[in-house]
Structure 1
Amino acid sequence: MTNPNAAGRPFRSAFPVRSVADVRRIEAVPLAEQMPVRSTYELFRNAAAAFGDKTALTFLRTAEPGDEPLRWSYAQLFEGMHRTANLLHALGLRPTDAVSVLLPACLEYHLALWGGEAAGIVQPLNPLLNEDKLAALMNAAGARVLIAWGAEAEAGYWHKAMRLRERVPSLVAVVRVAPHDEPPGAAGPLPEGVIDFAEGRAAQPGDRLVSGRDIAPTDIAAYFHTGGTTGDPKLARHSHGAQVFSAWASVQMQGLSSADVSINGFPLFHVAGVLPASLASLSAGVEVVIPTTTLLRNRDVMCNYWRLVERYRPTSLSAVPTVLAALADVPLDGADISSIRYCRTGAAPLSPELGARFERLYGLHVHESLGMTEMAGISTITPPGVIGPAGCVGFPLPFTQLRIVALDERGNASDRELPAGEAGMVLFKSPNLFSGFIDPADTAKAFTADGWLATGDMGWLDGEGRLHLTGRAKDLIIRSGHNIDPKVIEDALDAHPAVQLAAAVGAPDAYAGEVPVAYATLMPGASVTEDELLAFVAARVDEAPAKPKRVTVLERMPTTNVGKIFKPELRQLAAIDTARSLLQALWHDKAPAGTALPQVLADGPDRLLVRVPAGAQALADAAADALARLGVKARVTADLHGDSTEGAA
């Protein structure tokens, strides 16, 4: 078989993948022969040589389909990478140094990413994190340079960048990226130690790496942070080889080619937007469309999405389930979306109802995949033409090993392997496995004793070798020792015609440990009572312990910046609701008539704050005892000035 991925060539798929036998056929040729590319720099060098003036990136300045976008060719992108890497090298960045990136979606982000990896280690940052967490991440990485957006926009970019200069001692320079619509010279003189990105690049050669660096596959390319919305974020290290493998394997599994166009709505600080959605596409000559600086958080982009599809003719649609749910409410209004041949989702389980609704409305079957930061963005893929039920995330990538094991008594991975059809925790070994976290203690927790990545995902293998996910181990609701899969409740609630999104979590209970509760948002214009939803779900959930105790309708479902439903916030909301009900009953029994009811508020990610009337210390003590028996961490104050009694789990 002729190698379509020989040295010097862009990535191409050898043949369509339709079965696990096709994956094994790919594995028949040694990986080193099929994937000779050693770094992301070589990947872009090959793509530029093959595709030259072909459009690589299309940036939409607005959400109006008729507006003219900004476009860069593959040759321009590679030249810009050289200039960016050379600028960073001139600023003293070494291959083991980090360059942090604080940008919205834009063309320059790709220069920062790939030029940053050619010069050193790139660290994409979530701009919506607060300054404390951004500073902690940069200090953990020892960041030497910060590339930042030169405007406030929706995240306060420039203000944060200037404040971070004072809080990150290792920084030697800040590079300012001017917004695309900023008139020349409008920024005025820049502060000392701040460099204009365009001017700095223009002064550097665009045809080579001045450093002469020879990048090895084991060299660290990037630090991606995991977590960070609550608790301390962890920095995962990606090697060049891991990122290149993710790109190569994605091309093989999806059959990507230079005839394809994609709209990348994933944030470029997130592994999904950087690797499966960008690097894989650009390795094969795909045109990648960036829908404005705020992507799919831009309401106008969502409202005009199908018209943008008609204008730019993408061949694939990729979005998380919450975005698909929102798109299902956007009428086609006659837009021609026939260019889309492949629709894919990931990041969270797809409900059967949403999958069926999307297929019914648009004729698009939603294929699912599994990706994670610890595996350079992608672990399994359902290829085009392979039709699976909701929850089926497809085949493991070529050269990847997968095991399903039972949970131990603490909810961690055991060494007992389970047969096909039986659900347990998913474990992986793969060429795109990350190089560990910066903190060795975090790395140790990520792996089993025998070196398998413990994903925390629960799933099972079918007879065709496809993985089916059922949820996260940490999201299991444990009621009196009985493990309840929240997806059972969520699928039942999703089936109600008024429900747009649904999620189930465990609420604290003094006797059972946890009991299931559910939350839902409604379709636009829909109306239904919480009691009606509770009855609807109870009739469709067979196991008595899994029937939810309550269903609460929310105006907005809490989500992460990439659109995943954020269950920690729902668990905290469940704890607040439970504590409030408990304390109201306590007040009814113990408080003098006319005593104000306590306030129950969040006090950090895993603790509650309970305020009782000033001077009511006996009630504060009783509340602290009751919450301790409930298993809820709480700080109970007898006034508004901080006298407190602690209640702990």
Structure 2
Amino acid sequence: MNRALWPVGLPRTLDYPTTGLHTLLPSAARAYGTRTALVDGDLRLSFAEVHDKALRFAQGLRERGVGPGAVVALVQPNNIWFAVSYQGALLAGATVSPINPTQPAEALAAALREVRAAALVTHPACLPALRAALDASPALLTVVVPPTATAPAPPPKPGPAVDTGRTVPLAELLTAAPAPATPRSPDDLAHLSFTGGTTGRSKAVRVRDRHVWANVLQSTCARSAVLPEYDADGLVTLRRIPEAVTPWTGEPGQETAVNVVPVFHAMGLISQSIALLGGITVVGQGRFDPREFLSAMVRHRATTLTGSPALHHALLAAIDAGSYDLRAVRVVASGAAPLDSPTIARLTAAFPNAAVAEGYGLTEATMALTLVTPNREHPAEPGCVGVALFDTELEIRSLTDPAKPLPTGETGLVFARGPQVADGYLDRPELTAEQWVDGWLATGDVGRLDEDGQLFLSGRAKDMLIYKGYNVYPTQLEEVLAAHPAVAQVAVIGAPDPDAGEIPAAYVVLCAGAQAEAADLLSFVADRVAPYQRVREIFFLPALPVSAAGKILKTELRALRAREG
């Protein structure tokens, strides 16, 4: 491998913990103590305070019968208490299931049933959508976190008030005396993380402690030029490797980030633990406003920025219209979808001291599989999402014969294996067997590897589209639309959009004699999916183009959409 593509002085393999995740937060608290870990408006928690409150939360769960083997569902927007409840559930020995809080009531209830949640931690704004689920599960322990600046109280709504008689305020759990964490093993189940949205087609991925530890350490060591060392109790100390340090390398306990990435998604969830282990102060932001976000970056002298291309496009538009001193930023990281060359050039100009670096991963691999080593002077080639992380292997296989590896430089299906690759889907043995083959994960993406091990993605084997950084699956939307009584056939594609990246566009064939307006179908879908999953365009056709085998030719639909603009 070309050594410029990997931090000089760092090995290609790491030593991983022999403990579970109960040692991560105390390692951070010991290392960073009174340094501010989380900021939410005027509310601040130090690393030591996050640890103390998480221990109290853990004991509060235990006193209510929630511990090892139990699933604690987190249905709440980004706020300072998400980290406390997440870490606290782990310290109680439980499994965490982060669930998208923007979903409709039926989808939320289905997700809670799927993971067999024993406890729920939620926010006042989510309670109306959860009313039916709570009524159906009166024994479900429901903890409600207080509103914050990042996640304010919801406005009053007409209709019957939500019965909060069975809910428990977070403050009540935090009155418990902090007790030692319940020991965990590397094979304990840490997460049940949902892929894509959380509708009926979504899948809960089994992510174990060892997978989280691996991905957190892989990312932290690469981005901060450190290696882990362990004491007799399993606590981690990060040892700096001077020869790996560059002007774009973060330093543990010295970085600040402003965040709007949803923490119920894999990127946000694992980045939260990376921030704790790396001593990064994270400033939360509520509803995304580009100018407010940039002002917060300037005010807090943020040193790092992570987001999707849609976020970066919005920030660039705001930067063009205003004046912001962004010289403190050293790294602009991007994921969820490829950045185009003009956008990379604009980001490089807007952040004069920063390197732009992309990465690649998926929920089935906990979060990340590759990284680009940040280097402003020698940026990655267009389309490159980096090289494999520590102890991670990538392989390109034939599109027609997934068992056949391809030579370097050829394009095919991307397969991966490594310590961060999860071990399957919850209660989906057939799908697990399809995705995990002989120790390798079939990512579902298409790409190529060059002679230096750099991965270049060229598309997705499946027809997933990405709307503002969120994965949207056409199959889910097709099933929703197909349930409409006027719809005979439907196909959903991703249509290019300058602001969102891609938008869902549906081509519909109506039942004979049926009538429906596009607005009616758009509303039908919107009532049944999360806001980011909504179909944005409806087109009517007398018939869908199909192959001789009867397969819908979405390539023709994309060409049709391009012609019609």
Could you say whether these structures have the same fold, taking a TM-score greater than 0.5 normalized by the shorter chain as the test?
Answer: yes
After alignment, is 82-91 or 328-337 more displaced?
328-337
Residue from 213, 218, 237 that aligns with 1:244: 213
Q: State the Cα distance separating 1:475 from its structure 2 match.
A: 3.4
Q: Which of 53, 60, 69 pairs up with 1:96?
A: 69
What residue number does 1:433 align with? Answer: 421
How far did 1:473 drift? 0.9
Q: Secondary structure at the match of 1:474?
A: coil
User: In the alignment, does 2:388 pair up with 1:414?
Assistant: no
In structure 2, the partner of 1:19 is 5
1:122-521 matches, within 5 Å, as 122-150=96-124, 152=125, 157-168=126-137, 171-180=139-148, 191-202=164-175, 204-209=176-181, 213-228=182-197, 231-255=200-224, 256=250, 257-275=252-270, 277-292=271-286, 294=287, 298-299=288-289, 302-331=290-319, 333-363=322-352, 364-385=354-375, 387-408=379-400, 414-439=402-427, 440-448=429-437, 450-475=438-463, 519-521=495-497
1:550 maps to which residue? none
Query: What is the CA-CA distance between 1:454 and the residue it aligns to?
Result: 0.2
Q: Secondary structure at the match of 1:328?
A: helix
Q: Distance in 2 between matches of 1:628 and 1:247?
A: 46
State the 1:309 CA deviation: 1.5
Alignment of 1:4-15 (within 5 A): none
CA deviation after TM superposition for structure 1 residue 38, in Å: 2.1
Q: CA deviation at 1:516?
A: 13
Determine if contact 2:361/2:370 at 8 Å carries over to the other structure: yes
Please give the secondary structure, in 2, of the residue aligned with 1:393: coil
Q: Which has the larger radius of gyration?
A: 1
- CA distances 1:571-624 after superposition (whole Å, capped 9, x unpaired): x2xx24xx59xx9xxx9xxx9xxxx98756467699x9xx9xxxxxxxxxxx97
Aligned CA distance change for structure 1 residues 598 and 237 (closer, same or farther; 3 Å)? closer
| Mapped contact 1:129–1:229 kept (Cα < 8 A) | yes
Deviation at 1:520, TM superposition (A): 4.4
For residue 146 of structure 1, report the CA deviation from its aligned partner. Answer: 0.9
Given candidates 22, 34, 38, the residue that maps to 1:53 is: 34
The higher-RCO structure (CA 8 Å, 6+ apart) is 2
**Structure 1 residues 72 and 598, CA, compared in 2 at 3 Å: closer, same or farther?**
closer
- In structure 1, stretches of 5+ residues that fail to align are 1-16, 62-68, 477-485, 488-502, 509-513, 523-555, 558-563, 612-622, 634-649
Alignment RMSD, CA only?
3.6
Distance (whole Å) between structure 2 residues aligned to residue 107 and residue 455 of structure 1: 33
Counterpart for residue 486 of structure 2: none
1:174 Cα deviation after fit: 0.9
The one-letter code matched in structure 2 to 1:377 is M
AA of the residue aligned to 2:68: P
8 Å contact 1:282–1:288 — kept in the other structure? no
Contact 2:107 2:198 in 1 (8 A): no
TM-score by length of 1: 0.67
Q: How far, CA to CA, are the matches of 1:123 and 1:359 in structure 2? A: 37
Structure 1 residue identity aligned to 2:147: P
| 2:44 paired with 1:44 | no
Residues 122 and 221 of structure 1 are in contact (CA less than 8 Å); yes or no, is this contact kept in structure 2? yes
TM-score (norm 2): 0.76
| Cα 1:629–1:92 shift into 2, 3 Å | same
Distance change (3 Å), C-alpha of 1:108 and 1:24: closer
Q: Give the C-alpha shift of residue 344 in structure 1.
A: 0.8
Change (3 A) 1:438 1:463: same
Q: Aligned-pair distance for 1:88?
A: 1.1
Contact 2:208–2:422 (CA<8 Å) still a contact in 1? yes
Q: Once the two structures are superposed, what CA deviation does each residue of 1:422-473 show, in whole Å capped at 9, x if it has no partner?
A: 111111111011131112222112123x231000111111222211111211
**1:374-404 deviation digits (Å, cap 9, x = unpaired):** 1111111112226212321111111111111
Q: C-alpha distance in 1, partners of 2:46/2:351?
A: 32
Instruction: Give the 3-state SS of the residue equivalent to 1:416 in structure 2.
Output: coil
Given residue 383 of structure 2, which amino acid in structure 1 is its aligned partner? G
- Against the structure 1 CA distance between its residues 434 and 632, is the aligned structure 2 distance closer, same or farther, given a 3 Å change threshold? closer
- What does residue 6 of structure 1 align with? none
Distance 1:416 1:380 in 2: 22
Show the counterpart of 1:528.
none
- 1:331 Cα deviation from its structure 2 partner: 2.4
Q: Deviations over 1:299-331 (max 9, x none)?
A: 2xx122322211111111111011111111012
1:150-204 alpha-carbon deviations (Å, 9 max, x no partner)? 2x3xxxx1112332212346x4311111213789xx9x997443211112211x1
Task: Rate the CA distance shift 1:358–1:147 in 2: closer, same or farther, 3 A.
Answer: same
- 2: CA distance, partners of 1:472 / 1:415: 18
Change in 2 beyond 3 A, CA 1:406/1:125: same
Match of 2:237 in 1: none
In 1, the alpha carbon distance for the partners of 2:457 and 2:372 equals 13
Which letter maps to 1:39?
Answer: G
Question: Are the equivalent residues in 2 in contact too, given 1:401–1:429 (CA < 8 A)?
Answer: yes
Q: Is the alpha carbon distance of 1:379 and 1:96 closer, same or farther for their aligned partners in structure 2, counting shifts above 3 Å?
A: same
Change (3 A) 1:419 1:86: same
- Any gaps of 5 or more consecutive residues in structure 2? 225-249, 467-471, 479-489, 553-565
Classify the secondary structure of the residue corresponding to 1:407: coil
Q: Is the 8 Å Cα contact of residues 264 and 278 (structure 1) preserved in structure 2? A: no
Q: Conserved in 1, the CA contact under 8 Å of 2:121 and 2:142?
A: yes
**How far did 1:365 drift?**
4.2
% of aligned pairs identical? 27
Partner deviation per Cα, 1:28-67 (whole Å, 9 max, x = no partner): xxx4xx33362222011111111111111112x3xxxxxx
Over 3 Å counting, the alpha-carbon distance change for 1:108 and 1:164 in structure 2 is same
- One-letter code aligned to 2:388: P
Number of corresponding residues: 475
Q: Check the 8 A contact 2:309/2:338 in 1, yes or no.
A: yes
Greater mean deviation of Cα atoms: 17-26 or 220-229: 17-26
